[in-house]
Amino acid sequence: MSPEYPSTDRFMKGLDLSQVFYEEAVKPLLESEFPNLVYSAGHLGSGSDVLGFDTEQSMDHDWGPKLLIFLGEKNYEKYHESLDTFLGHNLPTEIRGFPINFGYHDDGTIVMQLSDDKPLNHRVSRDSYNQGFL
């Protein structure tokens, strides 16, 4: 697949983009569909964006609107698949001009790809507190 990069004149820090993605897209959907779900959300993992060192050049690989939802063990077992499916069908296709769908570039890197097709291949990962921490 060929990558679809947003113009670098729209660059914003990945942490800021992930916060906007959560507050404007993910949180309202979770509150409406899963109003009693207890979870935490954050942007963790590897990458320059996690540390705030990302630049316009970072946008060409593993960069974009993404976050991690932490659930308790019982809620993880009960909801992790339905959350993935629900979000894939209900997230908007873009947030602040950045695609929410991801795919693989020919070189194997993960990149944002414009798509109006649902379900989206989003980067909202789910994990349990027990799996995510030592």
Q: Which residue has the tokens 């060192």?
A: 53
CA dihedral 32, 98, 62, 114 (to 10 degrees): 100
Q: What's the average model confidence in pLDDT over 69-93?
A: 95
Q: What's the average model confidence in pLDDT over 53-76?
A: 89
Q: Is the pLDDT confidence value at 26 over 60?
A: yes
Q: pTM of the prediction?
A: 0.87
Q: Is the pLDDT confidence value at 1 over 50?
A: no
Q: Is the pLDDT confidence value at 42 over 50?
A: yes
